[in-house]
């Protein structure tokens, strides 16, 4: 509804009000440089330019050469592909729509609260809304189970796949996480030992650890894959898998998954999860934690990762 009001120039800007009321000063309430038309407010005002650039991936509205408010909406519905990858254009449309709404909100704050525009606060508000809306509106639902696999497959472009595995010995458990990109390239490898626990608890601990690693690395799109079908089933349908021992881990996993733009969980056959199995075996025989990057992978692990890719 708001976008429609912008498109037909129905917002009560000072220019529009001047046609119906006696407005002593029709200039922009934020910059006082021009008459406050919708075109000026949303594309020419210095405050608007700063907010667009800061909140919308470097977009510069003055390059659009808008001649009418409908031109602004056309750009939002068909955004420039130079700002992001083609599969993410819907995110750009969403971000631009939120930005346009916040520009009007900021203008009203300046007018009614008689305080200068807080560009930093506006950008933070836009980013917060974008994060919330994109998680809900994503074409790929969070926690969706992809097709079961017997062989490792690369994730979609822009997504990091985290394969996880846990191994149990007589005295302790070991957790392993391997992060790879859409080319199958190993980004990083982590492994550590924890006190002895049941295999199911260890597997969910590993998945939770993988999500914390991804969150700390600021990866926004992830796919988590485990060869523990019970763990994956419990995460995808917590109510249908009421195991008290892992309920806390499952709850924390589901909550943390909401922090990502997209987060998928899927099961893979153990034969397709060989790299994390090898890593966990390393950890079970070590006293401390392990951390590998592509340049220092153990030979056996490097071979398995190469075979996967």
The number of residues in the chain equals 309
Q: What is the SS3 assignment for 221? A: strand
Q: Where are the domains of the chain?
A: 2-137, 160-308
> For 261-304, what is the HEC assignment?
CEEEEEEECHHHHHHHHHHHHHHHCCCCCEEECHHHCCHHHHHH
Question: Quick one: tokens of 54?
Answer: 């800061």
**Range 160-308 has CATH code 3.30.360.10:** no
Along the 309 residues of the chain, how does pLDDT read in single tens digits? Answer: 999 999 999 999 999 999 888 888 899 999 999 999 999 999 999 999 999 888 877 778 765 568 888 999 998 888 877 666 665 678 888 989 999 999 999 999 999 987 888 888 898 899 888 887 876 666 544 444 445 557 888 898 899 999 999 999 889 999 999 999 999 899 999 999 999 999 999 999 999 999 999 999 999 999 999 999 989 988 988 776 667 889 899 999 999 999 999 999 999 988 889 899 888 888 888 777 888 888 888 888 888 888 877
Q: Exposure string (b/e) for 73-112, b if CB count within 10 Å is 16 or more?
A: bebbeebeeeebeeebbebbebbbbbbbbbbbebbebbee
Nearest in space to 283 (alpha carbons), one of 150, 186, 193, 170: 193
Question: Quick one: tokens of 213?
Answer: 């690693």
Q: What residues contact residue 239 under an 8 Å CB cut-off, 6+ apart?
A: none
Question: Quick one: tokens of 199?
Answer: 């295999």
User: Is pTM beyond 0.75 here?
Assistant: no
Phi-psi region of 245 (alpha: psi -120 to 50; beta: other; left: phi over 0): alpha
d(CA 278, CA 148): 21
> Cα 98 to chain center, whole Å?
16
> Under a CB-based contact definition with an 8 Å cutoff, are residues 150 and 271 in contact?
yes
d(CA 298, CA 279): 9
> Cα 305 to chain center, whole Å?
26
> Under a CB-based contact definition with an 8 Å cutoff, are residues 184 and 203 in contact?
no
d(CA 265, CA 243): 19
């Amino acid at each position: 509804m708001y976008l429609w009001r912008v498109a037909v120039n129905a917002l009560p800007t000072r220019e529009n009000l001047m046609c119906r009321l006696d407005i002593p000063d029709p200039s922009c309430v934020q910059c006082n440089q021009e008459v406050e038309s919708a075109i000026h407010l949303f594309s020419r005002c210095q405050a608007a330019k700063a907010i667009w650039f800061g909140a919308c991936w470097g977009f510069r509205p003055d390059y659009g050469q808008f001649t009418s408010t409908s031109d602004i909406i056309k750009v939002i519905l068909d955004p420039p592909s130079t700002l992001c990858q083609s599969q993410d254009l819907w995110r750009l449309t969403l971000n631009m729509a939120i930005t346009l709404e916040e520009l009007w909100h900021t203008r009203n704050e300046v007018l009614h609260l008689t305080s200068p525009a807080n560009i930093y606060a506006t950008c933070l508000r836009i980013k917060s809304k974008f994060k919330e809306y994109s998680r809900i509106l994503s074409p790929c639902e969070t926690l969706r189970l992809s097709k079961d696999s017997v062989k490792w497959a690369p994730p979609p472009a822009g997504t990091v796949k985290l394969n996880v595995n846990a191994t149990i010995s007589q005295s302790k458990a070991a957790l392993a996480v391997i992060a790879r990109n859409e080319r199958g390239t190993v980004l990083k490898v982590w492994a550590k030992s924890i006190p002895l626990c049941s295999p199911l608890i260890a597997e969910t601990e590993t998945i939770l650890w993988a999500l914390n690693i991804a969150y700390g690395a600021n990866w926004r799109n992830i796919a988590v894959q485990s060869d523990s079908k019970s763990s994956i089933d419990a995460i995808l349908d917590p109510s249908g898998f009421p195991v008290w021992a892992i309920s806390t881990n499952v709850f924390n996993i589901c909550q943390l998954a909401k922090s990502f733009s997209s987060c998928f969980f899927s099961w893979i056959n153990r034969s397709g999860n060989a790299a994390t199995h090898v890593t966990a075996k390393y950890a079970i025989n070590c006293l401390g934690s392990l951390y590998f990057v592509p340049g220092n992978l153990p030979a056996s692990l490097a071979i398995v990762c190469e075979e996967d890719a």
